[in-house]
A and B are shown apart, each in its own frame.
Chain A
Amino acid sequence: MGRRRSGPSRRERPVKSKPCVFCKENIAYVDYKDYNMLRRFTSDRGKIRARRVTGLCPQHQREAATAIKRAREMALLPYVVGR
């Protein structure tokens, strides 16, 4: 059996546009000191979650990533969990 060619193999779902949490709360600066908030954007292994998971806009995803890296450097967040 080959791959099915006819028809859309993946169902098209209506795109829900969800505003980024920082945009919604009007946060201008993502602070690396607020590590408990940043923890929401890391996986349980301590990795930075992808934008499609976090739902952040490009600007805030970038800023959140920088903030997480700064927090890691200051030992507020782990580089890796459960080694």
Chain B
Amino acid sequence: MVHYWSNKIQPLLPGWSHPLWGSRNRPEEAKIDTYEVMFIVIPELDEEQVENTIGRFRTIIERTGGEVGEVNNWGRRKLAYEIDHRADGFYYVMEFTAGERTLPELKRILRVSDDVLRYMIVKLPPTYARKLLPETAEVSG
């Protein structure tokens, strides 16, 4: 005979998780986070060298088990303020998913890359619907 309260132990809904246990019971359903990285590459390079630089980061992401999604080239843009006496830079935005080693490795490489002025890695909210990015290339020379 089944105890009358045994159904109370069952999860109420399929997606239900215990407030304390969380989703520890279902690790295989762990969500894959999407990240986005923005680079500012130094303006001294030409387009081809910039593409090579970006390709380098792409291989790092792919080698460490991540996957590169959309890559957006904003082109050469004026900076809002000078960084290292440079008034403009090449902006690239790249969406990717990360493997276990991707983020520390990417950060390490970016830190030692002299051709990257700045970078920023942001985790995108899972519900974020992709919207159109500003099509900008304000400075071209």
Binding site for B on A (CB under 8 A): 28-29, 31-36, 70, 72-79
Contacts and interface: CB of A to CB of B under 8 A. Distances in A.
Main secondary structure of the interface of B (DSSP, over half): strand
A67 to B, nearest CB: 10
B38 A34 contact: no
Contacts of A34: 134
Contacts, number: 39
Contacts of B122: 32, 70
Interface string B101-127: 000000000000000001010101101
B118 A75 contact: yes
16 contacts: A28-B128, A28-B129, A29-B124, A32-B122, A33-B38, A33-B133, A33-B134, A34-B134, A35-B134, A70-B122, A72-B80, A73-B120, A74-B120, A75-B40, A75-B83, A77-B80
Interface of B: 38, 40, 79-81, 83, 89, 93, 118, 120, 122, 124-125, 127-129, 131, 133-134
Contacts of A33: 38, 93, 133-134
Nearest to B72: A33
Nearest to A67: B122
Contact of A78 (B40, B81, B118, B133): B81
The CB with the most chain A CB atoms within 10 A, among B81, B93, B124, is that of B81
Nearest to B87: A75
Contacts of A70: 120, 122
A78 to B, nearest CB: 4
A29 B81 CA distance: 26
Contact of A74 (B38, B124, B128, B133): B38
A35 B133 CA distance: 11
Given A34-B134, A74-B38, 13 more contacts: A28-B125, A28-B128, A29-B125, A70-B120, A70-B122, A73-B120, A74-B40, A74-B120, A75-B40, A75-B80, A76-B80, A78-B81, A79-B80
Given A29-B125, A33-B133, A34-B134, A78 B120 contact: no
Contacts of A72: 80
